[in-house]
Chain A
């Protein structure tokens, strides 16, 4: 390995050495692409020729066949089409919620790590307080009391899961704030905000991306649980969890309603977890 190889390239090549992680990454990209173009492929004239919300009572609760590849639900809606559209909801919520927690966590963690003292003490107490609440209690409470909607869910998830990111950033800042490049920036008269955002944050961001990957997995899992419990996005919109909540009533025979949406959640969550895990190893110089 040449010494000139950048940290990013080195990490990337270590990441790709794991076939499982590479497969997970490809899978996530494919799911994201399908979600992005869902309205183009799953409509009356698309590759999957059914509107996700078009009911067809003559064909309700049908098992998979050549027409409805994954079967139909209790209103005769095509399951495959609903799952493709559901991917949009799940991924959008997972990514946005993680972005919110990344912004909140990085900001508070950076303040705590950079200034130390009373700021650090306050942020640490706040983290401790948030961690005391059982995660799902807090999210359920916020979502239900403020009326379930796409934004309530994303904000509730984001505002309850920033603690990991904050602790990572704080730790990194403590480690690098006295390094030469930071002192050089300070000596050249840069203001605090500039040092924090231009010099320190880019150097502290890598381990946070690991927790972000786990964060997306957790957000998707929690969103689907909320939808399953009936506190997710409003009813006609398909989400993997809301399809499963319908499945619960027909558990005695409609195996396809239980199996496929669950598999979609499971594989996507697992892929994000595997990516995060491999990424963490790739960043750790001691691991190989």
Chain B
């Protein structure tokens, strides 16, 4: 057990360095003077000696590996430098947007799990029957819907045509004058369309994953054994199959979180939700390299932690993993 967790932690550290190397290499493969990386496009009006001074200050006259080490030593302390837009520390800017994205993603994750998991488990027990088949097709279609199109259709129907929900934003302009419950309701109304847009594809992921997990379990010998010893079908499902099918679901953590963060870029941009997805998109358009770099590393780290957590939970729940038998 300990050996497994130690190995997994070691891999996570290696992966962390890999993440920083890949991000750093990508940014430095971008054509153009790396000086814009630190001071933005205002750099064009700076005099030559001043540029040299900045170059020296940021170690840009050092060889690339050395530059990487300087940047890394900051990154491990979560110091990603200052934004080239407003000169504020990148961490501060990420920090103030993070709660908004977390709120959106957490609700979407919860709803997707609450609908997707039972739907997937249900369809595994009805495998091959007409209703199950059409539900499988339905989930496939759900998964194939482009998020931005769904967003546009929802906006067109609920906001423009019927004026039921706000078009975008996180609160109404008059929110400041509202009482507390009114303001809460207003916020919930603003949440609905972005959450729906973010959720529907995740429902399909949850459903498909839980279906194949349970199907996999039902095929195994111990289920046949349970049936052979005379256990009723519902006892086989509830007592034997479900519990074992839930274990692999923890790996979904490492799968769904990056997909939610990816979706945040589209959803937050369309609905003008003030989170990190929109911050990332705006920073890319403004070529605010320190923010782009910081956000890329930060989100990759979140995924890394999620999959690390998932692996450890998996090992705790399933002895075959930690004893190395299934550790392919």
Identify the A interface with B (CB < 8 A).
20, 125-126, 128-138, 140-142, 144-146, 174, 217, 221, 224-225, 228-229, 231, 241, 244, 247-248, 251-252, 255, 258-259, 262, 265-266, 269-270, 273-274, 277, 286
One of B39-47, B189-197, B300-308 at the interface: B300-308
Q: Given the interface contacts A258-B153, A265-B146, does A135 sit within 8 Å of B15 by beta carbon?
A: no
Do the beta carbons of A137 and B259 come within 8 Å of each other? no
Q: Given the interface contacts A20-B137, A137-B262, A251-B152, does A132 sit within 8 Å of B303 by beta carbon?
A: yes
Residue B244, interface by CB 8 Å: no
Q: How far is the CB of A137 from chain B (nearest CB, A)?
A: 6
Q: Which residues of B contact A269 (CB under 8 A)?
A: 144, 146
Q: Given the interface contacts A145-B27, A145-B30, does A125 sit within 8 Å of B285 by beta carbon?
A: no
Q: How far is the CB of A77 from chain B (nearest CB, A)?
A: 19
Q: Which residues of A contact B261 (CB under 8 A)?
A: 134, 137
Q: Which residues of A contact B281 (CB under 8 A)?
A: 140, 229
Do the beta carbons of A277 and B284 come within 8 Å of each other? no
Do the beta carbons of B296 and A228 come within 8 Å of each other? no
Q: Given the interface contacts A137-B280, A221-B146, A274-B140, does A126 sit within 8 Å of B18 by beta carbon?
A: yes
Do the beta carbons of A133 and B160 come within 8 Å of each other? no
Sample of 15 A–B contacts (CB below 8 Å): A128-B11, A128-B15, A128-B18, A134-B300, A140-B280, A141-B292, A145-B26, A145-B30, A224-B146, A225-B146, A247-B152, A251-B156, A265-B149, A266-B146, A273-B140
Do the beta carbons of A135 and B153 come within 8 Å of each other? no
Question: Among the listed A130, A145, A262, A270, which residue makes an inter-chain contact with B153, where contact means beta carbons less than 8 Å apart?
Answer: A262
Q: Given the interface contacts A229-B269, A270-B140, A286-B219, does A129 sit within 8 Å of B26 by beta carbon?
A: no
Q: How far is the CB of B103 from chain A (nearest CB, A)?
A: 18
Residue B143, interface by CB 8 Å: yes
Residue B155, interface by CB 8 Å: yes
Q: Which residues of A contact B4 (CB under 8 A)?
A: none
Do the beta carbons of A129 and B22 come within 8 Å of each other? yes
Q: Which residues of A contact B156 (CB under 8 A)?
A: 251-252, 255, 258
Q: How far is the CB of B140 from chain A (nearest CB, A)?
A: 5
Residue B198, interface by CB 8 Å: no
Question: Among the listed B26, B148, B265, which residue makes an inter-chain contact with A244, where contact means beta carbons less than 8 Å apart?
Answer: B148
Chain A residue at minimum C-beta to C-beta distance from B208? A277
Residue B145, interface by CB 8 Å: yes
Residue B19, interface by CB 8 Å: yes
Bound Cα distance A138, B29 (Å): 14
Which residues of B in the span 227-265 have a Cβ within 8 Å of any Cβ on A? Answer: 254, 258-259, 261-263, 265
Q: How far is the CB of B89 from chain A (nearest CB, A)?
A: 20
Q: Given the interface contacts A135-B259, A258-B153, A266-B149, does A140 sit within 8 Å of B265 by beta carbon?
A: yes
Residue B299, interface by CB 8 Å: yes
- Known contacts A125-B15, A132-B258, A135-B258; 13 additional CB pairs below 8 A are A129-B15, A135-B262, A137-B280, A140-B284, A144-B285, A146-B29, A146-B30, A225-B147, A252-B160, A258-B152, A262-B152, A266-B141, A270-B141
Chain A residue at minimum C-beta to C-beta distance from B167? A251
Residue B14, interface by CB 8 Å: yes
Q: Which residues of A contact B104 (CB under 8 A)?
A: none
